[in-house]
Amino acid sequence: MSSVQLDGSHTPSKRGGEAVTHRRDKKSKTTNALFLMDKQGIPLAMSEPIDGNHNDLFNIEFFFTKMITDLEQSQISINGLFLNTDPGFDSEEYRKIDTSKGIIANITE
């Protein structure tokens, strides 16, 4: 595995749940989660559900680090991974996490 993709997804939660809140820009309550997939779109790791009234960078250090730890515990090497993501993840904090883990971030504009 040499290339992975990271993205977040806001999902309507019409019946409620543990990490659900109403978003001002949505018509219903939502929950958010981050997904890390291989280059074929197969999920490798997922964050725990996140209250939906946040962007993808909300508490990124905790959620992304947990996802990477899950991969490492499964003996999936992350050193040198080329990680593609959208501009929603472009922050100094997130780039530092990638660098510290040996991940090469490709954040599109």
CATH dotted code for 3-107: 3.30.420.10
What are the tens digits of pLDDT across the range 40-79? 989 999 998 887 666 778 888 899 999 999 999 999 888 8
50 within 8 A of 18, measured Cβ to Cβ: no
E strand segments, the chain: 3-12, 21-22, 29-38, 43-46, 50-51, 82-85, 104-107
CA 13 to chain CA mean position, Å: 19
* Residue predicted with more confidence, 84 or 1: 84
